[in-house]
Amino acid sequence: MNDLIIRQGKLINGNVIDIVINDGKISALGPDAAAERVAIREIHLHGHYCISAGWIDAHTHCYPQSPLYFDEPDLVGVAGGVTTVVDAGSTGADDIDHFYSVTRRVKTHVYAFLNIARTGICNQNELADMSYIDNEHLQSAIRRHKGFVIGLKARMSKSVVGKNGLLPLIKAKTMQKMSGLPLMVHIGNSPPELAEIADLLTKGDIITHCFNGKPNHIIDDAGNLKPTIQRALARGVIFDVGHGSESLSFPVAEQAIRFGAYPHMISSDIYQRNRIGGPVYSLATVMTKFLTLGLPAQCVLDCVTINAANSLHLPRKGRLERGYDGDITIFEFKNQSIELMDADGHSRIGKQQFIPVAAIVAGTHVIVPENTTSGISVKDRVTLRRSINNDIPL
């Protein structure tokens, strides 16, 4: 007896397959993988709904007790079709233990980038006081939470570092060498200048807010990709979107994409305020924005599945393959117009949308949230719910 069978799910390329999940892993998949098999739970999609590996949001703020940027992991995760979320520096060494305990009680897979400031983001300028950057406490926290802490986070913009300039980033690179973990660097207003930041980054480091529209952005006055950014990309530095409340400019993204500077990861930088009041709303909304900016649908999906899994070093995630985690996102790829806004007030009209329908986590939790299925007819939603035994709506 199998744990879960998904019958006739449609891939983004139009192919229809079955997926069989046992013990939290994909055990079989293909056009007839479920033939003559039975399972404790079955979902029949009739070739109508799309499926992909579970979506990964590489930049969120989902520590509920954070004083500035906070949310509930399941509201930024499975409620929006996202099976894995990464909190990007909300917590530091002082509060990572509590955050870890919170994440053990949710359905969404949660990981953390540890802020190099031991306080995390308890105020806007956590890196203005160098005494908050405590390597001993940071390394101890990483050892305590190996596998949960998957990287370090440094917010390198004027409002955060104050008069310290590049010093926090220089310290972060030393801390990174000791830990062996990826480093995610937030870019924003100068100082420090973008060129100074980018020139310190090495292969596998992540620039988040890569398409922000602030004066310190990646496009030069002539409309070209800045040479320092070209060199960073050539070294293997990773571009992460990190939309957020202030960090996605359609004109900057469009110009970068014209130069072939595609994002490696599409992430939301979501927290309660920009989830409810916009302009983020959900990872699916951010994915739809990049579809509208000209990225092919498969490219968009790769940015929230295999690319994210590879960049974040999450083994067994991001692929629909035998032996990989049984994390699946069910969604509609719908031909429907929508007005989309960036963080600077620019609008674009999209012709297609990603609409999440359900999140399956480790083949066990099947979440069909009411609030993210507005694009699905009532009849179809009821049919889907009836096809899932013991579904758990949020």
Determine the longest span between alpha carbons in the chain, in angstroms: 67
For the segment 368-384, the average pLDDT, to the nearest whole number, is 52
Residue 109 assigned ligand-binding role: no
* Domain boundary, last residue among 276, 292, 319: 319
Please give the structure tokens belonging to residue 66.
């954070």
More confident site: 362 or 367:
362
Judge if 162 and 176 occupy the same domain: yes
The per-residue pLDDT for 369 is 67
Judge if 42 and 96 occupy the same domain: no
Tell me the pTM.
0.95
Whether 320 has a pLDDT exceeding 70, the answer reads: yes
Judge if 249 and 214 occupy the same domain: yes
Question: 163-211, pLDDT tens digit by residue?
Answer: 999 999 999 999 999 999 999 999 999 999 999 999 999 999 999 999 9
What CATH code is carried by the domain that includes residue 330? Answer: 2.30.40.10
Judge if 344 and 295 occupy the same domain: no
Question: 65-99, pLDDT tens digit by residue?
Answer: 999 999 999 999 999 999 999 999 999 999 999 99
> Based on the structure, what is the number of domains in the chain?
2
Residue 227 maps to a domain: yes
Question: 102-130, pLDDT tens digit by residue?
Answer: 999 999 999 999 999 999 999 999 999 99
Question: 26-56, pLDDT tens digit by residue?
Answer: 999 999 999 989 999 999 999 999 999 999 9
Residue 153 assigned ligand-binding role: yes
Residue 243 assigned ligand-binding role: no
For the segment 346-360, the average pLDDT, to the nearest whole number, is 97
* Domain boundary, last residue among 290, 319, 348: 319
The per-residue pLDDT for 274 is 98
Judge if 73 and 97 occupy the same domain: yes
Whether 133 has a pLDDT exceeding 50, the answer reads: yes
> What is the spatial distance between Cα 322 and Cα 85, in angstroms, rounded to a whole number?
22
The per-residue pLDDT for 370 is 60
Q: How many CA atoms lie within 13 A of 373 on its CB side?
A: 24
Residue 217 assigned ligand-binding role: no
CA angle centred on 394, ends 386 and 330, rounded to 5° = 55
For the segment 207-225, the average pLDDT, to the nearest whole number, is 96
Residue 209 assigned ligand-binding role: yes
Lowest-pLDDT choice from 135-149, 155-169, 354-368, 369-383: 369-383
The per-residue pLDDT for 361 is 97
The secondary structure of 184-211 as a DSSP string is: EEEE-SSSSPHHHHHTT--TT-EEESTT
Residue 59 assigned ligand-binding role: yes
Whether 13 has a pLDDT exceeding 80, the answer reads: yes
Which residues have a Cβ under 8 Å from the Cβ of 83 and sit 6 or more positions away?
54, 55, 56, 77, 108, 109, 327, 328, 329, 359, 360, 361
